Amino acid sequence: MDFGKFQYDKQRKERKARKQQKTIDIKEIQLRPKTDDHHLGFKIKAARSWIEDGMKVRVRIRFRGREITYPDIGRQRLDRIAEELKDIAIVEQRPNMEGNTMLMVLAPNSTKKK
């Protein structure tokens, strides 16, 4: 057996496998607890288009100063976003606090794929 031919075939198989693998992009939306409803609507519309394209969306609410004492406001915002996108997305990671930010990850619903 020719070792050079074996290496060549192995490299071609690896290259073909790399081309066919699906990469999952994660887009991020950053908000504040005081974000206006109109602005929130634009962010939800952007998230909807990304989820329809098959991307995951990370929603981050950043608390500054004394806002950190009211994490329930941020949780209400995240719940509202999840509620509005529940027809095309599932909540992959529930809202949780990490330092001064609250995160939630939304993934495309597997039944609604294009």
Please tell me whether residue 100 adopts helix, strand or coil conformation.
coil
Query: pLDDT tens digits for 74-85?
Result: 999 999 999 999
Instruction: Please give the CATH architecture assigned to the domain spanning 23-112.
Output: 2-Layer Sandwich (3.30)
Give every CB contact of residue 113 below 8 A, 6+ residues apart in sequence. Answer: 54
The type of residue at 62 is R
**Confidence (pLDDT) at 47:** 94
Domain ranges of the chain: 23-112
Query: pLDDT tens digits for 11-63?
Result: 999 999 988 887 778 999 999 999 899 999 999 999 999 999 889 999 999 99
**Confidence (pLDDT) at 111:** 59
